[in-house]
Structure 1
Amino acid sequence: MRDQDPSPVDTDRRLSTKETAELLGVKPETVYAYVSRGLLSSRRAAGGRGSTFDAEEVEALARRNRRESSGGAGGPGGELSVRTRLTLIDTDRYYFRGVDAVELAGRHTYEEVAEWLWTGRLRPGASFTAPEASVAVARRAAAALPEHTTPTDRLRVAAIAAATADPLRFDLSEDAVLGTARTLIPTLVAALPPVRLDHRDTGPLAHRLWARLTGRQADEAHLRVLDTALALLVDHDLAASTLAVRVAASARAHAYAAVSAGLGVLEGPLHGAASGLAHKLLLEVLDQGGAAPVIADELRAGRRIPGLGHRLYAGEDPRARALFSLLEEIPHAAPALAAARDVVATTARHTPLHANVDLALAVLTASCGMPATAGETIFAVARTAGWIAHALEEYGERPLRMRPSGQYVGPKPPRPLPEQDTSGVRSQP
């Protein structure tokens, strides 16, 4: 028998916060999250004590939530579709809360762009500071890892270690999660071992991260490229790692755990690690003196060319275009930039693919003496802000809604219990 919808509410009256929360099956603070996201409207109650909500509007939202519950968070054609106010990708451009992301990253720091994504407000001069206790425990945990550990491994361990130093991590209110965001990101950077011994963990985040990526001295042009790269990579709709974060947040995992879920998915070669493959490709092109023999070997081996093409952009990735423009202002980036363009032009003879952000990150990392893993590190630090923005959105939704149903294709039940396999068991004397 199908579940029956609850009795309709009396639409001639307004509901209290408690009544609204009960009807929607959420906590009172989630009701106010709905208001802040424009899903519900509120009015101050008589006497100014609390808020009231339009009963018909609440019932409409409850019906929509029930539809999602029965059918999953599905979209047209059965594809996963999740409502979000964060990022829109449209015709080779993308927008953060309706604002052109490339223009935003070109005029504001990574910290300011992160604040915009989280709150819809700009905080000029925004700065993130990590508590000493959080940094200490994260560094100890990361330092205990084997020497060959990747930076993403260190970041994931540092995130969990930092969580243990935060007894309030289970507070999922917006203010608490934003507080976590502003301390977790600099904690992750501080947990990475510095390459430059004269580094200082002060100033903009890009300055602190630079010392973890290369031993070369940075000028303003270099730091601007790194800071812009961080800002451009803050979010990119429902990438695989972001979906993992939303699944964790749907189960009400705290922000540290949600970020750890994102970091786990990021390590895949088709996601965050793609820039490392592009980095190695560029070094080989520089070593060979041209892209043709390198591309030929890749195609002969049946491998896709890293750093090219993006399923969401028919033309050039706007993030790559923005970074290439800045890299043109750095003289010693010219060889790697020329190698990247040679890769694009050579591959175009076979298939018309455009550069993506992984190739632009590879130009930055290869030209600045950074290791192949540096692009993934930049990506992970940058995207942490976006993951937390998505976690915040998901905390305002119905719990455990990210629960698709499996389509069973195994043997038809019921089947008899299996017999014990004794073929590999030696007889006893």
Structure 2
Amino acid sequence: MTDQEAGAVAHEGQRISTKEAAELLGVKPETVYAYVSRGQLSSRRGPGGRGSTFDPKEVRALARRNRREPAVATSANELSVRTRITLIDKDRYYFRGVDAVELALRHSYEEVAEWLWTGVLRPGIHFTAPPEPAGAARLAVRALPEHCAPTDRLRVAAISAAAADPLRFDLAEEAVVGTARTLIPTLVAALPPVLPTHRDGGPLAGRLWGRLSGRKPDEGSLHALDTALALLVDHDLAASTLAVRVAASARAHPYAAVSAGLGVLEGPLHGAASGLAHRMLLEVLDRGSATPVVANELRAGRRVPGLGHRLYAGEDPRARALFGLLEVMPKAGPALAAARDVVATTARHTDLHANIDLALAVLTVSSGMPAEAGETVFAVARTAGWIAHALEEYEERPMRMRPVGQYVGQRPPQPLPTKQDA
């Protein structure tokens, strides 16, 4: 509807009813109230306290935003989505225009997450898990079989925390950011500690360490883990992030959107890649050379884990930053040498550089963590980025992430199928 048509519904200075607002927006009245709950529209009670009224200027502005077409098809038939969160350009990446590596090296994971959500840096901020959702998540995770993968535990923790939050359907920006600040530490708190003597408190990286390693961390190790979390917080529209945006487009609440991301993350080509690199490094250390290990990977027709990235022609900047911290950690020396051996051995045949999965594997191997630890670090870190993308998507036109299928089956009409004999 054009602005001229909108003027026929309401004159300047007059407020309009819910029905008129719905007509301007082209939605059902129920959706108008959803916009109010998300903070996209403000309402007042009508005369006599009956019904709601709306500012026509505000409604028209929202209608114009909803008419934008931010998702377009590229020449390669891929979906392109406008975002203000992460830019990847010339082997560097940026969070809200700020160099992401510099941000991660200078600030904690929680500070970087806050920057991603709000555009405000809050030095010293720590996220804490409320007792009720954390308790519900712990109980649910304890009931799982011991062989469950980290993403299994995190998905169950997210669902349990959602069930304990009756306000989870509030999609206003302030409410979603508040959910994010409690959901991430709840996910960490739900994971069983490696040592029974582990106590929670302090920065998130320290709490996560106690769930991944039985060793007491030194300052350098904790800084490396915290930096790894901050480096991994977001990376544009990775597969899991796209799943989160699709869920948010359908107005799924933040817990459900994060659950969608966790489901995709479990694939071996995404979050689980660091585990493959971890096992490879252990084999290199056991055999004393990368040559037979790399040869076996190539003979089996597999890609060598931890090498190459489709978005970077050179070395992954996240790997370069994390390797820099690992170089000054004495305990990381053997695993770091094994990783360099893998890169050098592979370089004889192909020009592939180390990526973040290899650097993360060096951290987990040298810290006495299991192979699945990298996947846990990835999932916890990326939850902050998923929330940032959900926040963006909640401001867009609902259900816009709806591509059209290209049907390639038999053309109708076809006869009804007949019963097949057994």
What amino acid maps onto 1:209 in structure 2?
Answer: L
Q: Which residue of 2 aligns with 1:90?
A: 89
In structure 2, stretches of 5+ residues that fail to align are 42-53
Q: RMSD value over aligned CA atoms?
A: 2.6
Q: Which residue of 2 aligns with 1:180?
A: 179
Alpha-carbon distance in 2 for matches of 1:74, 1:232:
29
Q: Which residue of 2 aligns with 1:114?
A: 113
Alpha-carbon distance in 1 for matches of 2:72, 2:254:
22
1:90-119 C-alpha deviation (Å, 9 max, x unpaired): 000000000000000011100000000000
Alpha-carbon distance in 2 for matches of 1:389, 1:247:
13
Given the superposition, is the C-alpha separation of residues 216 and 62 from structure 1 closer, same or farther in structure 2, using an over 3 Å criterion? closer
Q: Which residue of 2 aligns with 1:283?
A: 282
Matched, 1:157 2:156: yes
What amino acid maps onto 1:118 in structure 2?
Answer: W
Matched, 1:264 2:263: yes
What amino acid maps onto 1:147 in structure 2?
Answer: E
The question of whether the paired residues in 2 share the 8 Å contact of 1:309 and 1:355 is answered with yes
Given the superposition, is the C-alpha separation of residues 333 and 21 from structure 1 closer, same or farther in structure 2, using an over 3 Å criterion? farther
Q: Which residue of 2 aligns with 1:251?
A: 250
Q: Which residue of 2 aligns with 1:417?
A: 416
| Aligned residue pairs, count | 402
Deviation of 1:199 after TM superposition, in Å, equals: 1.4
Deviation of 1:33 after TM superposition, in Å, equals: 5.4
Q: Which residue of 1 aligns with 2:68?
A: 64
The question of whether the paired residues in 1 share the 8 Å contact of 2:273 and 2:357 is answered with yes
Alpha-carbon distance in 2 for matches of 1:51, 1:407:
42
The question of whether the paired residues in 2 share the 8 Å contact of 1:250 and 1:401 is answered with yes
Q: Which residue of 2 aligns with 1:135?
A: 134
Q: Which residue of 1 aligns with 2:300?
A: 301
Alpha-carbon distance in 1 for matches of 2:23, 2:391:
21
In structure 1, stretches of 5+ residues that fail to align are 35-49, 425-429
Matched, 1:369 2:404: no
Alpha-carbon distance in 1 for matches of 2:368, 2:295:
26
The question of whether the paired residues in 2 share the 8 Å contact of 1:150 and 1:373 is answered with yes
The question of whether the paired residues in 2 share the 8 Å contact of 1:340 and 1:359 is answered with yes
Alpha-carbon distance in 2 for matches of 1:85, 1:160:
28
Q: Which residue of 1 aligns with 2:356?
A: 357
1:227-276 C-alpha deviation (Å, 9 max, x unpaired): 00000100000000000000111111111011000000000010000000
Q: Percent identity over the alignment?
A: 71
Given the superposition, is the C-alpha separation of residues 55 and 385 from structure 1 closer, same or farther in structure 2, using an over 3 Å criterion? closer
Q: Which residue of 2 aligns with 1:201?
A: 200
Deviation of 1:196 after TM superposition, in Å, equals: 2.0
Alpha-carbon distance in 2 for matches of 1:31, 1:149:
36
Alpha-carbon distance in 2 for matches of 1:192, 1:402:
33
1:98-151 C-alpha deviation (Å, 9 max, x unpaired): 000000001110000000000000111111111111111101111111110011
1:206-242 C-alpha deviation (Å, 9 max, x unpaired): 0000000010010100000000000010000000000
Deviation of 1:73 after TM superposition, in Å, equals: 4.1
Deviation of 1:15 after TM superposition, in Å, equals: 9.7
Alpha-carbon distance in 2 for matches of 1:64, 1:74:
14
Given the superposition, is the C-alpha separation of residues 301 and 238 from structure 1 closer, same or farther in structure 2, using an over 3 Å criterion? same
The question of whether the paired residues in 2 share the 8 Å contact of 1:30 and 1:395 is answered with no
Matched, 1:100 2:72: no
1:342-373 C-alpha deviation (Å, 9 max, x unpaired): 11111011110000000000000011110000
1:139-175 C-alpha deviation (Å, 9 max, x unpaired): 1111111110011100000100111100111111111
Structure 1's consecutive aligned runs of 4 or more residues displaced over 2 angstroms after TM superposition are 4-34, 50-65, 72-78
Q: Which residue of 2 aligns with 1:38?
A: none
Alpha-carbon distance in 1 for matches of 2:175, 2:80:
28
Alpha-carbon distance in 2 for matches of 1:149, 1:21:
47
Q: TM-score, normalised by structure 1?
A: 0.88
Alpha-carbon distance in 2 for matches of 1:174, 1:264:
24
Q: Which residue of 1 aligns with 2:319?
A: 320
The question of whether the paired residues in 2 share the 8 Å contact of 1:110 and 1:231 is answered with yes
Deviation of 1:200 after TM superposition, in Å, equals: 1.5
Q: Which residue of 1 aligns with 2:396?
A: 397
Deviation of 1:16 after TM superposition, in Å, equals: 7.3
Query: Secondary structure of the equivalent of 1:94?
Result: strand
The question of whether the paired residues in 1 share the 8 Å contact of 2:66 and 2:396 is answered with no
Query: Secondary structure of the equivalent of 2:260?
Result: helix
The question of whether the paired residues in 1 share the 8 Å contact of 2:201 and 2:207 is answered with yes
The question of whether the paired residues in 1 share the 8 Å contact of 2:65 and 2:397 is answered with no
The question of whether the paired residues in 2 share the 8 Å contact of 1:139 and 1:191 is answered with yes
Q: Where in structure 2 are the equivalents of 1:326-365 lying within 5 Å?
A: 326-365=325-364
The question of whether the paired residues in 2 share the 8 Å contact of 1:110 and 1:227 is answered with yes
Deviation of 1:277 after TM superposition, in Å, equals: 0.2
The question of whether the paired residues in 2 share the 8 Å contact of 1:10 and 1:55 is answered with no
